[in-house]
Structure 1
Amino acid sequence: MDNNFKMVAKTLYGFEDLLAKELLQLGAQDVKKGVRNVSFVGDKGFMYKANLGLRTAIKILKPIKTFRIFNEKDLYNKVYKINWEEYLKPEGSLAVDATVHSQIFKHSKFIALKTKDAVVDRFRDNTGNRPNVDLRFPDLKINVHIDKQLCTISLDTSGESLHRRGYKTATNIAPISEVLAAGMIMLTGWDGQSDFIDPMCGSGTILAEAAMIACNIPPNLMRKEFAFERWQDWDVDLFEKIEESLLKKTRDFHHKILGYDKSPSAVRKAKENVKNAHLDEFISVKHEDFFKTQRAGTEKLHMVFNPPYGERLERLNVPEFYGQIGTTLKHGYPNTNAWLITSNLEALKHVGLRPSRKIKLFNAKLESRLVKYEMYEGSKKAKKQ
């Protein structure tokens, strides 16, 4: 019997290729890239696996109905007709969120409300009971997506966004999202075959994600809950079997991952988060000012960092700060592939080095660039000869 169904994994702009590759490696079928999403086919076990194992997914949706709608009444009637009893008990709880790209329907909150009304009214009419709304821990989280007149109703399999891995209890101002950190590191080609450094590590997100990639540790093992754990067909034995099979694929890591920050409170937070993630055997965090450091050893070094921006930049002289990044890399970090992300595109001009790659990404809503500086041993000319 074919128990496969279609799912949609949502992601950040620029990560569609990474996510498609991750899905194929996990064993997904019929993988198709969209904009900020990738659709695929799998069974219930694969749904569990995708939520546990994907680094660049924000959410995994299971579409259950797609139809055309022309007004709110139309939406209500078509949602009402869905067999909600299959997914929820009358005494259960639900939450609805909506995304709308349409000239006819403009207010996503109103669409969510109309959808909720249709589901609740169906239960009340058929059973005399109605499910409650619970925005925090619903038994069923429903997602409505309207594109022009095409409406897709999906079940949210993840619940809270998958960037909430569960290891971060301490954060600084403007911490980088775990999904953005993981995707960035993957784009830099990091494969765990060299030492790694984040010289402005903040609360340690880049360090933790780099260690999990190097050791092939599933990123969402530490999460307290996925939405599917409250479903009527939740299969704890199957889930544990999937978890075990992913853990068998972890690998040894024979290099060092190092984090610096010049703020003592950031160093404390980073150490706490690394410990929560059970990654302290791979990562060491030190209280250092990057601009006063130089690298030890001559082996290849992989560097990825997110310099301060926005609120964290108010007290900084930006041209001078970015100039110091360039000077430190040039004089202290030969034989290093250095990657940084910034939303201050003007500031990059002050680094004084020519990037060998630039990738457009978004950090929250800020358009950013992930840039690569290749620091050679001696001069570049000599290297070429």
Structure 2
Amino acid sequence: MGNFKMIAKTFFGFEETLAKELQLLGAMNVQQGVRMVSFVGDKGFMYKANLALRTALKVLKPIKQFAVYNEANLYKGIQSIDWSEYLGVNQSFVIDATVFSDHFNNSLFVSLKSKDAIVDQFRNKHGKRPNIDKDFPDLRINIHIQKDMCSVSLDSSGASLHHRGYRTATNIAPINEVLAAGMLLMSGWEGRTDFIDPMCGSGTLLTEAAMIACNIPANINRKEFAFERWNDWDADLYDKIEESLLKKVKEFHYTIKGFDKAPSAVMKARDNVRNANLEDYIDIQEANFFDTKKETEGPLHMVFNPPYGERLDINLERFYREIGDTLKQGYPGTEAWFITGNVEALKYVGLRPSRKIKLFNGKLESRFVKYELYEGSKKGKYITK
């Protein structure tokens, strides 16, 4: 079974984290780009990457690259691919196009022109054509035009890989699962201490933290991947890959705890944790973080996503000051990380972050910050502003 080049897409800021994941999985020739990492592997590794990668949004299989300056180049380039290799005349397909070029300013136009080229090829050969199906296509084609180059890939994932399959209930302003997993990995979370998310919402950070701690494949709960509809789908190989990943699942001997002051959020979080089969590892309580203190001895790892004032109406100055006060007074021996889309609000925390990383939460430019809170005798080491 031959090796081929693949591309894993991710969010800005997670390229290095994704590259490390790929190397640990056994990918070859791993190379970082912008919002993507390219690598080499075989079909089994493509299945493995989709199942196991926590910070990938898509896994693409490039099949052709050509120069493109106008619509005639585009049509001819798409027609130069033998589409019968990937698609039957009675099957369906859809095209996703992304365009960063002076020659084209409309991704929908690129999609339509590419569709015409594929459909015309089938009509000329067979007198009939495959259909377009935007929801459940047999083949999802990805077209990326960057300046003068057009890359055509098959999308092996289908729906974005942040759709893990466990989250059915969401709260206001839920955090994307890939963003959550990326933040956890970036924070150094490996499951070697107790963990807390003090503003847990629908429980995404808690669930991803437990999956990392137990080495559970990120997308084990997904209903379907796009490659399952491909002509070369190998169900036996997939089962072997899944089985080998599940053999590496391990026990976790610390606590993972979540708080939220909204009863509705607590219910939703518990539902999602149950869907992921992780209720043995995660304890969720109705509580206001500002009324809590650290309950366990030893180091504590904290990651959370507080409100930014974007979709939730709060007094930002008071709220962020209370975050700082609660951390200082109630959580010695804690590594606390949180993400905020409101950089101004950070100055109210009253602690100096030891790390500040630029990320995006959706389209919102954000900062992922780390505060180190020391135990008793090192109280002088509190890093305050």
Distance 2:279 2:361 in 1: 27
Change (3 A) 1:379 1:349: farther
Residues 377 and 383, structure 1, Cα contact 8 Å, conserved in 2: no
1:298 shift after superposition: 2.4
Q: Is residue 81 of structure 1 aligned with residue 80 of structure 2?
A: yes
Distance 1:71 1:356 in 2: 50
Question: Residues 299-319 of structure 1: CA distance to partner in whole angstroms, max 9, x if unpaired?
Answer: 1110000001244432x1100
| Counterpart code for 2:68 | I
Give the equivalent residue in structure 2 for 1:248: 247
Across the aligned residues of Structure 1 and Structure 2, the Cα RMSD in angstroms comes to: 1.1
Give the equivalent residue in structure 2 for 1:289: 288
- Pairing 1:180-219 to 2, within 5 Å after superposition: 180-219=179-218
Give the equivalent residue in structure 1 for 2:231: 232
Change (3 A) 1:322 1:210: same
1:383 shift after superposition: 5.8
- Pairing 1:86-97 to 2, within 5 Å after superposition: 86-97=85-96
Question: Residues 335-366 of structure 1: CA distance to partner in whole angstroms, max 9, x if unpaired?
Answer: 11110100100000000111111111110111
| Counterpart code for 2:122 | F
Distance 1:303 1:23 in 2: 26
| Counterpart code for 1:160 | A
Q: Is residue 124 of structure 1 aligned with residue 103 of structure 2?
A: no
1:129 shift after superposition: 1.4
Question: Residues 241-284 of structure 1: CA distance to partner in whole angstroms, max 9, x if unpaired?
Answer: 00000001111100000000000000000000000000100001
Alignment identity in percent?
65
Residues 173 and 311, structure 1, Cα contact 8 Å, conserved in 2: no
Q: Is residue 336 of structure 1 aligned with residue 321 of structure 2?
A: no
1:80 shift after superposition: 1.3
Distance 2:51 2:116 in 1: 32
| Counterpart code for 1:179 | V
Residues 5 and 43, structure 1, Cα contact 8 Å, conserved in 2: yes
TM-score (norm 2): 0.98
Give the equivalent residue in structure 1 for 2:312: 313
1:297 shift after superposition: 2.6
| Counterpart code for 1:320 | R
Question: Residues 120-177 of structure 1: CA distance to partner in whole angstroms, max 9, x if unpaired?
Answer: 1100110011000000110000000001110000000000000000000000122100
Give the equivalent residue in structure 2 for 1:70: 69
Q: Which sections of structure 2, spanning at least 5 residues, go unmatched?
A: none
| Counterpart code for 1:152 | S
Greater shift in the superposed pair: 303-312 or 360-369: 303-312
Distance 2:39 2:143 in 1: 19
Runs ≥4 in structure 1, deviation > 3 angstroms?
Answer: 379-384
| Counterpart code for 2:287 | E
Residues 9 and 59, structure 1, Cα contact 8 Å, conserved in 2: yes
- Pairing 1:161-180 to 2, within 5 Å after superposition: 161-180=160-179
Give the equivalent residue in structure 2 for 1:7: 6
Distance 1:181 1:64 in 2: 31
1:69 shift after superposition: 1.2
| Counterpart code for 2:251 | D
SS, match of residue 280 in structure 1: coil
1:379 shift after superposition: 6.0
Distance 1:76 1:173 in 2: 44
Give the equivalent residue in structure 2 for 1:304: 303
1:49 shift after superposition: 0.3
The alignment of Structure 1 onto Structure 2 pairs a total of residues equal to 382
